[in-house]
Structure 1
Amino acid sequence: MRIKLSEKYQSEREEICNKIISILELDENKSFLLCELDNDTEKQNKILQMKEDIQKYFSVSCISSFRPNFECKRPYLNIVRSILRKQNYIFERSEIEKSKNDGSFFRSTKYKIFRNN
């Protein structure tokens, strides 16, 4: 019987998750703002460059960012959410209002990432 990737590569999978979390630079509440990730192309590229390593240690057939000819609005977010969920991380999503420098407000999504052990 074939050994599951999740059993065979436990430490490698955790290492990839830790790398993703460090790229996201979570705040003290273990959260990040989607608008900040959307505006930071360096973080996006770092996440997208991990695709090759991710394919070695995770089953990616059900992750839309890895499917050929499939358009995804935010492939970097899709990768983050899918991979961390496979490692039993939980995402808590909330809408927030944040002020701009000119005094106006805009809405964004805040993601809190945690794991119940």
Structure 2
Amino acid sequence: MPHIIIEYSADIEKSESAQKLMQTAHDVAMESGQFGEADIKVRTLRFDQALVGGKPDSFLHVTVQLLDGRTDDVKKALTMAMIDGYSRLNLKLGCLSANAQDTIRAVYSKTTLP
């Protein structure tokens, strides 16, 4: 953990690559001091069509899935850091947002495959 999912409108790729979007999230997560580098997993979901406020527009939303136990202040600092990191890319967006969600440690399962 964390699992970081970046949802974004396809038109963003005109100015930034998906790789840059993932690297930004990875860098912000590392700078937070909350995670070891090997624990950070980042992926993207591209959307070809999106409405923001009922109109076609660009968006980027970051979801950070964390094992439960962190305070709301820590989660808020992390989401604000994500907003700040993406703001520095100067993307033309109708909406930029981030959320941190708890994953229940007692039921989370993981394995390493050969």
So what's the TM-score if we normalise by structure 2?
Answer: 0.36
Could you say which structure has the higher strand fraction? 2
Q: Highest relative contact order (Cα 8 Å, sep 6+), 1 or 2?
A: 2
Could you say which structure has the higher helix fraction? 1
Which one has a bigger Cα radius of gyration?
1
So what's the TM-score if we normalise by structure 1?
Answer: 0.35
